[in-house]
Amino acid sequence: MLSAINPVIPARASLRLRWVIFAFLFAFTFAAYVQRTAISVAAEPMMPQLGLTQLQIGWLETAFLVSYTALQFPAGVLGQFLGSRLMLTLCGALAVAATIAVPVLPALTTGGMLFILLLLAQFILGAAQAPLFALVSGALERWFPSHQWALTQGLSSSGIGLGAAAAPAVIASLMVVLGWQMALLIVALPVVPLMLAWWAFARDSPWHHPRVTAHELSELTHAPCERAITPPTWPRVRKLLLNRDLIGLTLSYTAMNFVFYLITLWSFLYLVQARHFTVLAGGLSAAVPSLGGAAGAAIGGIAASALTRKLGARKGLKIVPLLTLPASGILLLISVHAASAWVALAGLTFAFGLLETNESCFWAASMEIGREDAVAAGAILNTGGNLGGIIATPIVAALSGGGNWTTPFIAGAACAALSAALWLVINPAPRTLSGART
């Protein structure tokens, strides 16, 4: 039956097509984090030029997070209906428009109206990116065998770290030469050819792609009849919403993401304001923790995949969070209390690297729980995750605006410990036919 799907293509291919799909998904995650961190990097010259306060910058970040969080689930469900090919293309176009609006709007208006329009642009950017990681999760569930879910989630999450690293380094360098507005315009444009290439090449399922071989299809976990694209139904969605393990996973992700947003959105201003780096040095230095996060995500994916294959999902996905989340919190405390700016930077880097080793565990666990509804399960997970950002952003903005950077770091350390503790009651293993967990 499988051989009849693509009879003219050889049984084996040197490159699995699923890795080309993965490369596109990786690029989308990379671009998303360049877009979403752009304002925090450009904030230093934006504030005096546009008459904005640091608290208002915090509200711009919050506007993104509000729509991003609120629309995670509805946009994820819509994406499961429309498919990742169409949904990622549409969301990519909307995100480009919202990103370009930020440097263009100051030429059209000023004062309170400008701030309102900037809030709207950030709100739209959040809406455009809301289903991204749920769509990535669903695509990985469909295109990859289950033993590679943790691996691909970890590698995909490294795109987050690389994007977050590229944003301060590239935007700060461009700002010095061309100004912040031209810098934001330049970094927005590469997404256009990316989304056009995705639309031309991608398909929602490997069984729908004309270039996938029968051999590659045979490597997937389920038969084609079990892998049909099925829109989520209310009974299945309700079952996910009431799933104890998914609820615990989501709460743990909320706590973890307090730390994530603390580091990704505020490292640049922390290094400039509290550690007295120059704008250019701060931009380059703020990239270092994100590079640590990218490395940590890849290492975590490899480790979680190996542990899952050896011990099963129930044990294998727990080990990394229980070890690395508390260690990340301890490093945050070391960073903020260090006398040396370079020790603080090193502590931030290792703290973020250890934190990001857990991305693959969270997302692979949501895929194990959700299975054919991995998009919906991922949307629930990421809704909770970004509540951590909504909680963190105004708190950090208000405290740091008054010069208090210590309290946010102490709160981040406490959240890392709480996130680890919740893993003690999470069972991410899939159910067997009898209803038991493996």
DSSP string, 394-438: HHHHHHHHTT--HHHHHHHHHHHHHHHHHGGG---PPB-TTS-B-
Residues 6+ away with beta carbon under 8 Å from 171: 38, 41, 42, 180, 183, 184, 187, 283
Overall average pLDDT of the 245-270 stretch: 90
Name the residue ranges covered by the structural domains of the chain: 12-212+232-425
Q: Place 223 in a pLDDT band, splitting at 50, 70 and 90.
A: very low
The identity of residue 130, as a single letter, is A
pLDDT in tens, 325-349: 999 999 999 999 998 888 989 999 9
Give the per-residue pLDDT at 24: 95
Q: Place 42 in a pLDDT band, splitting at 50, 70 and 90.
A: confident
Q: What percent of the chain has pLDDT over 90?
A: 35
Residue 292 above 60 pLDDT?
yes
Residue 176 above 60 pLDDT?
yes
Give the per-residue pLDDT at 222: 52
C-alpha to C-alpha distance for 271 and 277, rounded to whole angstroms: 6
Q: Phi and psi of 209, rounded to 5°?
A: -95, 125
Minimal CA–CA distance to 378: which of 264, 240, 204? 240
pTM of the full predicted structure?
0.74
Residues 6+ away with beta carbon under 8 Å from 95: 32, 35, 125, 128, 129, 191
C-alpha to C-alpha distance for 358 and 385, rounded to whole angstroms: 13
Extract the tokens encoding 299.
Answer: 């290492």
DSSP 71-107: THHHHHHHHHHH-HHHHHHHHHHHHHHHHHHHHHGGG
Q: Where do we find the tokens 């989340």? A: 325
pLDDT in tens, 344-374: 899 999 999 999 999 989 988 988 888 778 8
Q: Place 229 in a pLDDT band, splitting at 50, 70 and 90.
A: low
How are the residues of the chain apportioned to helix, strand and coil, as percentages rounded to the nearest 5?
80, 0, 20
Q: Place 87 in a pLDDT band, splitting at 50, 70 and 90.
A: very high
Most confident of 188-197, 220-229, 411-420: 411-420
Give the per-residue pLDDT at 271: 86
Per the CATH hierarchy, to which homologous superfamily does domain 12-212+232-425 belong? MFS general substrate transporter like domains (1.20.1250.20)
Residue 11 above 60 pLDDT?
no
Extract the tokens encoding 94.
Answer: 């909307």
